């Protein structure tokens, strides 16, 4: 039985890797196509050459990183996980500590493999093409803060799940579902006030022509302007962005300072109307509900296999453990996860169309179209993505589709 499980895991990991490589290659080849009708002016001749070179270099870097991650996973499956399990058993006899150490070591190994590629992407690739503004000091600080958050928040949640499992056995899933749901709601409400300030400074939008324009938009849409903030995204990148988070009294719209520097008042108002559209259409709330239901489904399925002896035998481990069951489940669950990801991306793309339509009703649709075109140009975005790649990977519709809907 253990060989069957191991073969399934190897097949799923290999299949997922090959699927990703094929989609990336097909999408990369599409970059040779001419721009869709109406988008010929998004890139001038010089910027088009820059776009092609950037995407070529990024494709090669991504391919190498994916191969490194694939080889690492194969090494872990074919004995690496068993060695880590033996190590944590020697370090401690406490089951809780064993699981936390195992997951921490495995995560650290994975991060160490990914770090050289991240350094290259940030300080070579992004620097070469004019996107990077971060410094080695900020990068190291971000990395250390990310480790701290993972240890405190991630480790805390995982410790709670393990304690519930040790207490209730396979029936732990329903209480764990409640706990994870409460944590998810908490972070949705307080992400912008607890996590973001660790990395960026957020300031309320000051008085001026932009504020006046947004006051008018707020009256029409019923959204409080005091919930609009500017974030200093320029300390890390020249890319412009905006996002919406939270709900109820904790809702917040955040505009990157790079967006304000590169767009006029009408375009920014249109972008803001789009973000307000996500709130008015209740996309955040619906997304949270879907996430909660999916978490319950995952925990229930996990509870069905975590006690199986075939789980740890498949990895070559000497005995059972919550962490071993978690590793096997995540890998066996990958086909289901892929399907749910495709569905989630479809819903997300649909939500973007709805937010665009909302923005066109309450602001200047042409200004939004200009903003989308400028964002695509400044960020060197693909204009001709492969349909298969869009279906699997895109949470936002391609630019041509969004502009067609707006028109």
Instruction: Please identify every residue annotated as catalytic.
Output: 275, 356
Residue 277 tokens read as 């559209």
Q: What CA–CA distance (Å, rounded) separates 117 from 284? A: 32
Sign of CA pseudo-dihedral 308, 309, 315, 317: positive
Nearest C-alpha neighbor of 373 from the set 406, 403, 337: 403
CA 371 – CA 358 distance, rounded (Å)? 15
Please give the DSSP secondary-structure letter assigned to residue 223.
-
Other C-beta atoms lying within 10 Å of the C-beta of residue 90 = 9
The strand pairing partners of 229, in sequence order, are 204, 254
Sheet of strand 242-245: strand arrangement: 202-204, 228-231, 252-256, 242-245
Q: Render 297-357 in DSSP notation, one character per residue.
A: HHHHHHHHHTT-HHHHHHTT-SS--HHHHHHHHHHHTHHHHHHHHHHHHHHHHHHHHHHHH
């Amino acid at each position: 039985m253990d060989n069957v499980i191991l073969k399934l895991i190897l097949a799923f990991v290999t299949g997922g890797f090959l699927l990703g490589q094929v989609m990336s290659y097909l999408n990369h080849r599409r970059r040779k196509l001419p721009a869709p009708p109406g988008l010929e002016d998004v890139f001038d001749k010089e910027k088009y050459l820059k776009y092609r070179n950037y995407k070529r270099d990024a494709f090669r870097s991504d391919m190498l990183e994916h191969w490194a991650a694939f080889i690492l996973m194969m090494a872990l499956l074919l004995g690496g996980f068993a060695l880590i399990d033996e190590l944590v058993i020697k370090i401690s006899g406490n089951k809780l500590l064993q699981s936390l150490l195992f997951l921490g070591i495995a995560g650290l190994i994975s991060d160490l493999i990914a770090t050289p590629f991240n350094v290259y992407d940030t300080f070579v690739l992004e620097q070469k093409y004019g996107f990077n503004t971060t410094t080695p000091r900020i990068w190291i600080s971000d990395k250390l803060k990310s480790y701290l958050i993972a240890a405190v928040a991630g480790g805390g949640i995982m410790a709670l799940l393990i304690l519930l499992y040790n207490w209730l056995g396979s029936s732990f899933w329903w209480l764990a579902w409640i706990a994870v749901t409460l944590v998810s709601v908490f972070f949705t409400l307080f992400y912008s006030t607890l996590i973001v300030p660790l990395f960026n400074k957020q300031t309320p939008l000051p008085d001026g022509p932009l504020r006046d324009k947004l006051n008018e938009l707020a009256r029409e849409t019923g959204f409080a302007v005091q919930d609009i903030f500017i974030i200093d995204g320029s300390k890390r990148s020249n890319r412009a962005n905006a996002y919406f988070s939270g709900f109820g009294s904790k809702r917040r719209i955040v505009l990157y300072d790079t967006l304000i520097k590169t767009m006029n008042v009408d375009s920014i108002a249109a972008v803001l109307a789009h973000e307000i559209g996500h709130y008015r259409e209740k996309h955040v709330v619906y997304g949270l509900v879907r996430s909660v239901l999916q978490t319950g489904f995952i925990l229930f399925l996990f509870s069905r296999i975590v006690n199986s002896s075939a789980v740890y035998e498949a990895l070559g481990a000497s005995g059972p453990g919550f962490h071993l069951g978690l590793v096997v489940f995540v890998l066996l669950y990958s086909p289901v996860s892929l399907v749910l990801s495709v569905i989630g991306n479809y819903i997300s793309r649909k939500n973007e169309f709805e937010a665009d339509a909302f923005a066109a009703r309450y602001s200047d649709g042409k200004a939004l179209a200009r903003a989308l075109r400028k964002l695509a140009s400044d960020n060197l975005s693909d204009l001709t993505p492969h349909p298969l790649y869009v279906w699997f990977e895109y949470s936002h519709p391609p630019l041509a589709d969004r502009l067609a809907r707006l028109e």
